[in-house]
Structure 1
């Protein structure tokens, strides 16, 4: 299955979003969901080391969708992708809202969908209306 990595400036946010998305997907054939939040010392920020570790943990050989929260998270993932060999070969930065996109990505990945379908589902979350 496609893996999903959730990058936030906060360990608590990344972990909570991963827990929520996994819980909504239910038991059974759950896609790997790995949070990468905060800095290695527990502070607020982003960490290339934590992101890289999370991507390899989530990778099952068919792609990894990486969702991010804010500015430097985007820049950090882009820099890692530009290096070419730091992240799994089919890792992809997905332009989606973190929470809604994570839920859509995990649900879609858990059906066995490919990386393109997971990215599309997560990106479609930009259009979710709440009122």
Structure 2
């Protein structure tokens, strides 16, 4: 039995210096969150190199935005600076969270139709997940 898709949900954008890391993390988060999760990867430079691309981030935001908010999760360093170019309070928020664990937690809650503050909190809570 599949869970019905909420009318709208918070979008998740994963910004990484690596296209492969962003895509695979988006795939993993989507496997946990389900087929209706709104997750987009924005990794690497426009020419396929290591780095970040404002154009890729803008396109990813547009892809997942359903009007109730977008959470951007950057990996480190320059991706944070690139992500912050798109911050708009209560519409597009950058999360200072663990990349993989935060992406999964955010995607799972977002897929339920939860609001942006709750999705951000779920991603932030991933910081304290224990493995042992």
Instruction: Give the Cα–Cα distance (whole angstroms) in 2 for the partners of residues 72 and 130 of structure 1.
Output: 28
Gaps of 5+ in 2: 1-8
Instruction: Provide the residue aligned with 1:118 in structure 2.
Output: 119
Say if 2:90 and 2:116, in contact at 8 Å, map to a contact too. Answer: no
Ranges of 4+ aligned residues in structure 1 off by more than 3 Å: none
> What residue is the counterpart of 2:29 in the other structure?
21
Q: Match of 1:4?
A: 12
Q: How big is the alpha-carbon RMSD for the aligned residues of Structure 1 and Structure 2?
A: 1.5
**1:93, distance to aligned residue in structure 2 (A):** 0.3
When normalised by structure 2's length, the TM-score is 0.89
Alignment of 1:94-105 (within 5 A): 94-105=95-106
Distance 2:124 2:46 in 1: 29
Q: Show structure 1 runs of 5+ residues with no match.
A: none
Q: Secondary structure at the match of 2:73?
A: strand
Shift of 1:24: 1.2
Q: TM-score scaled by structure 1?
A: 0.90
Q: Give, in whole Å, the separation in 2 of the partners of 1:95 and 1:70.
A: 9
- Give the structure with the higher percent helix: 1
Distance 2:86 2:28 in 1: 27
Aligned to 1:36, what secondary structure does the other structure show? strand
Aligned length: 124
